């Protein structure tokens, strides 16, 4: 039966688990590694991670559905996460979000048909001195203006 994980990923997961006093403690970092390879954490991934870390698939799902960074369905290649907390809002985050919605033709939570972009809103990203900001996958962009957004989208193309 084909392993859900690549050999390399399995090796990395096992090495990760070995660093903890109990394997089960590696679950969150492990899920990040899995999501980086698979794009999401579905039932097959839940079972595979569970088996590796000595927890149940149910416990994996309990964790996946608690933390906002874990996805049960794949995101687009570029996951655009716009902060909507206080500082970003008072410096124009709503306008940036509106601009992105129109430009990409996406509602919040949607993925583009070509699979390139997913647009979501998030809470404070810890970049408030560069508000308004957004995170693309793990990369942070701040001091956003419509022009800057255009630039970013071009860079991502």
Partner 1 sequence: MAEAKTFSRALGREGGWSIEAYLQAGGYRAARKALGEMTPAAVLDEVKKASLRGRGGAGFPAGLKWGFVPAKTDKPKYLCVNADEGEPGTFKDRYILGHDPHLLIEGALIASFAVGIHRAFVYIRGEYENIARRLEAAVAEAVERKFLGPDVFGSGFALDLQVHRGAGSYICGEETALLESLEGKRGHPRLKPPFPASVGLFGAPTVINNVETLANIPGIILHGAAWFTDQGLPTDGGTRLFGVSGAVARPGVYELPVGTPLRDIIFTHAGGMLPGRQLKAVIPGGLSAPVLRADEIDLPMCCDALVRAGSMLGSGAVIVIDDRTPILDVLLRVARFYAHESCGQCTPCRLGTNWIRKVVERMASGGGRPGDIDELARLASGIKGRTLCPMGDAAALPVLGLVQKFRSELEGATCRP
Partner 2 sequence: MPTLTIDGRTLSVADGTTVLRAALEAGISIPHLCWHPAFVPEGSCRLCLVEVEGLPKLELACSTIVREGMIVKTATPAVRESRRRVLEFLLAEHPVDCPICDKAGECKLQDYYADYGLTEGVFAEAKERRAKKVVLGERLILDRERCVLCTRCVRFLKDVTGTRELGVFERGVHSEVGILEGKPVATAYAGNLVDLCPVGAITDTAFRHKTRTWFLSARPSVCPLCARGCSIWIDYHPGFPRRPASAGVYRIRPRTDEAVNGPWICDRGRYGYLDLHRRRLPAIFWNRGGQRVEMSREKILTLLGEKVGSLATRHQGKGLGLVLNSNLTVEEFGVVRQTLLPRIPQARVWFADPPHGEDDGFLLRSERTVNRRGASGLGFDLAPLSLEDVARGLTILVVLSPFFGQAAPAAGVEKALASVETKALVSPVETGFEGLFDFVIPSALPSEKGGTFVDFQSRSRTLSPVFPPWGDAWAEGDFLSALAAEISRTS
| Residues lying near partner 1 in the complex (CB under 8 A) | 19-22, 24-29, 31-32, 53, 55, 59, 62-63, 66-70, 84-87, 89-91, 122-131, 135, 138-140
Among 29, 39, 42, 57, binds partner 2 (CB under 8 A): 57
- What distance separates the 2 farthest-apart alpha carbons in the chain? 54
CB of 77 to partner 1, least distance (A): 17
From the list 51-59, 79-87, 119-127, 136-144, the region that binds partner 2 by CB under 8 A is 51-59
* Pairing between β-strand 117-122 and β-strand 134-136 as defined by DSSP bridges: unpaired
CB of 114 to partner 1, least distance (A): 25
Angle, helices 27-38 vs 57-64, to 10°: value is: 80
Which of 154, 67, 84 is closest to 119 using CA atoms? 84
Nearer to partner 2, 44 or 113 (CB): 44
Applying CB under 8 A, does 145 fall inside the site for partner 2?
A: no
Shorter beta-carbon distance to partner 2: residue 60 or 131: 60
Cβ atoms of 70 and 41 within 8 Å: the answer is: yes
**What do you get for the CA distance between the two ends of the chain, in Å?**
37
- Using the rule CB under 8 A, is 109 a contact of partner 2? no
Q: Return the C-alpha torsion angle 26, 31, 33, 37, nearest 10.
A: 150
Q: Which residues bind partner 2 (CB under 8 A)?
A: 43, 56-59, 61-62, 65-66
């Amino acid at each position: 039966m084909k392993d859900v994980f690549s050999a390399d990923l399995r090796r990395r997961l096992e090495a990760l688990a070995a660093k903890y006093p109990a394997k089960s403690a590696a679950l969150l970092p492990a899920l990040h590694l899995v999501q980086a390879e698979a794009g999401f954490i579905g039932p097959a991934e839940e079972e595979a991670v569970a088996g590796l870390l000595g927890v149940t698939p149910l416990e994996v799902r309990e964790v996946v559905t608690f933390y906002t960074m874990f996805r049960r369905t794949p995101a687009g290649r570029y996951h655009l996460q716009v902060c909507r907390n206080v500082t970003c809002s008072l410096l124009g985050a709503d306008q940036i979000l509106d601009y992105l919605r129109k430009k990409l033709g996406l509602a919040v939570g949607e993925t583009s048909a070509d699979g390139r972009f997913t647009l979501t809103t998030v809470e404070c990203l810890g970049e408030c001195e560069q508000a308004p900001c957004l995170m693309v996958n793990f990369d942070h962009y701040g001091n956003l203006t419509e022009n800057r957004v255009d630039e970013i989208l071009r860079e991502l193309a």
